[in-house]
Structure 1
Amino acid sequence: MLERQFPVITALTERMLTVGLMDAATRLAAQIFITTVPLLFALGAFASDSVRNTMVDSLRAVFGIHGGAAQQVQEVLHASGSAGELRQTTGIIGILMAVVAATSASRALTRICNDSWRLRKASTRIAAWRWLAWIAAMMVMLVCQGPVRNGFGVGLWLGVPLTFVLSVSLWWWTQHLLLAKRVPWLPLLPGALLCAISVTGLSLTARVYMPNALNRALDQYGALGLVLTCLSWLIVISVALTFSIAAGAVLAQNAPLDRVLGTPAALKPAAD
């Protein structure tokens, strides 16, 4: 009875169980965190001062960090010693290993996309370069967050809608990329919109919640408190993203959006 009256809700509940919402989101958050730390050191070692300053501004814009937390970020990106010394310490091989390890986040997100659409894992030969491309795109997006959120100097009235549009584009492209083009563009739009709404809403919330939470954790527990607070917030973001991608797939596979978006019959539930 419930399945006949509310097919989308029933399908969404079943899909969340298939994806494993909390397990998948926690795994994704952990991989993103593990990815971010070495890449921040790499950015501090090889990026120019202007790029590092833009990165700091972007992290401040995203999380609204200030005080001790902002100082910690500043120290990571502007590590003590000359850039040459830091490059020697880090090494090209170390940077390459960090980039390769960073693909763990791409692989975790790819698994979420595959499970959401009930697709088999693509071959490594097809997927490997896509993992690296996604990491590169996310780093560029993160570096650009400060200017974008400020509306390139115009203000938040332009920055917020611009951030939303870019977020839709990013998550639309992300799904298409990581699913190896096995799903057409239009059926991926609901998931992209839901991801953009979730990320934009959480980013606005972070500007209110995160500054005090980060500084309080830093004062009470030191750097460990900073790590735990950031990881907890990443789990919240990952839950929202996982839910949004899976919900977008369910909406695109079921009536009435399946006809509007032209979802191929092969991607629809067997009951259809």
Structure 2
Amino acid sequence: MALAGEARAARTEASGWLTGTSPGRTIRRVIVELADIELADRAMSLAAKIFTSVLPVIIAGTMFSGWDLVARGVDDQFGFDPTSASPGGGGLQATDPSFAAFGVVGLLMVAISGTSFARTLARIYGKIWDMPPTGFRQAWRWFVVLFTVVLSAPLLAMARGLADLRVVGIPLALLAEFAVWMFVWTLTPHLLTARWLSGRVLWATGALTAAALTAVRAGGRIVLPRITETAQTQFGAWGLVFTTISWLFVLSIVIVGAAAIIKALALDDAFIGRYLRGPEGAPVNTPGRDETTRAE
């Protein structure tokens, strides 16, 4: 209902092509939403959290299963094998003294610190959708989001393995990658917005994010290996770090931008906006409130 009311207000006050026509209002709304969310700053914050919070959890997780699957994914995207940095390759085994030193407590601490990524993303969604922040009673959602994103790394590597199939390999691999991203970026906003959004908005956010990430990663597999090789030649390990953070920034731009664009489209007074908002009379219970409010 809040989105429907805002859409009606924008239409009432409209004048000129950008505000006086439905396509114009949509374009203007997209620009305004991207500017209001401070896209570059939010994306840089999210990229930093992925680098400092999510990647350590992925690395810690390889202690159970070895580097092979995740390493193939990194090599496929960036053009270098991370296992080459450590003699012998492979991950730590449960009987390894280093594993014992790290221990379950260490893994737990890495996971707890890793939730800062989910909290940052929750604040971004809160800014986009004008929703109240989630409290510590919803902390379990942060852990689920963290491990969902972490799980996407080996799943994407498995999806890319389908590209080795003859004839249908590459299309099938892209379709599988899209399905992984669709699952991750539909579930993630669903958890972090705590039923604040309608199902249609969630599915649209997941679909747009998945399509954009699949396309960006496909392009990255063409240009990134050359960029990585040049950066490593000139700056060594620092070049790899800089390239990785820059690429995470690009992916974060997609994640934040897709959510903001869906918000703008949901305010459209044409068909797409009405579809995303759904039936205006359907109430949904929101956490922490006794009365029912509109999900839209």
Q: Do both share a fold (TM > 0.5)?
A: yes
1:104-183 correspondence runs (5 A): 104-126=116-138, 128-151=139-162, 154=165, 155-183=169-197
Residues 192 and 40 from structure 1, CA distance in 2 versus in 1: closer, same or farther, beyond 3 angstroms?
Answer: closer
Residues 215 and 81 from structure 1, CA distance in 2 versus in 1: closer, same or farther, beyond 3 angstroms?
Answer: farther
Contact preservation (8 Å) 1:106, 1:131? yes
Contact preservation (8 Å) 1:117, 1:267? no
In the alignment, structure 1 segments of 5+ residues that lack a partner are: none
Deviation at 1:79, TM superposition (A): 5.9
State the partner residue of 1:209.
Answer: 223
Indicate yes or no: 2:240 matched with 1:226.
Answer: yes
Q: Deviations over 1:137-173 (max 9, x none)?
A: 1121111212212328532221111211232222112
State the partner residue of 1:71.
Answer: 84
In the alignment, structure 2 segments of 5+ residues that lack a partner are: 1-15, 281-293
Residues 83 and 149 from structure 1, CA distance in 2 versus in 1: closer, same or farther, beyond 3 angstroms?
Answer: same
TM-score w.r.t. the length of structure 1 is: 0.86
State the partner residue of 2:285.
Answer: none
Deviation at 1:233, TM superposition (A): 0.9
C-alpha separation between the residues in 2 aligned to 1:249 and 1:182? Answer: 13
Match of 1:58 among 70, 73, 81: 73
Q: Deviations over 1:227-265 (max 9, x none)?
A: 111001111111121111110122123222232234465
C-alpha separation between the residues in 2 aligned to 1:54 and 1:216? Answer: 25
C-alpha separation between the residues in 1 aligned to 2:273 and 2:209? Answer: 19
Q: Deviations over 1:32-64 (max 9, x none)?
A: 00013422441243x133xx3112122233x15
Residues 152 and 215 from structure 1, CA distance in 2 versus in 1: closer, same or farther, beyond 3 angstroms?
Answer: closer
Deviates most, 8-17 or 147-156: 147-156
C-alpha separation between the residues in 2 aligned to 1:189 and 1:237? Answer: 19
State the partner residue of 1:22.
Answer: 40
Q: Deviations over 1:77-104 (max 9, x none)?
A: 7368985222133232222111111111
C-alpha separation between the residues in 1 aligned to 2:190 and 2:75? Answer: 30
Residues 157 and 41 from structure 1, CA distance in 2 versus in 1: closer, same or farther, beyond 3 angstroms?
Answer: closer
State the partner residue of 1:48.
Answer: 65
Contact preservation (8 Å) 2:54, 2:150? no
State the partner residue of 1:4.
Answer: 20
State the partner residue of 2:105.
Answer: 93
Give aligned-pair identity as a percent. Answer: 25
C-alpha separation between the residues in 2 aligned to 1:13 and 1:267? Answer: 24
Contact preservation (8 Å) 2:65, 2:91? no
Contact preservation (8 Å) 2:62, 2:92? no
Contact preservation (8 Å) 1:187, 1:258? no
Residues 267 and 80 from structure 1, CA distance in 2 versus in 1: closer, same or farther, beyond 3 angstroms?
Answer: closer
Deviates most, 188-197 or 199-208: 188-197
TM-score w.r.t. the length of structure 2 is: 0.79
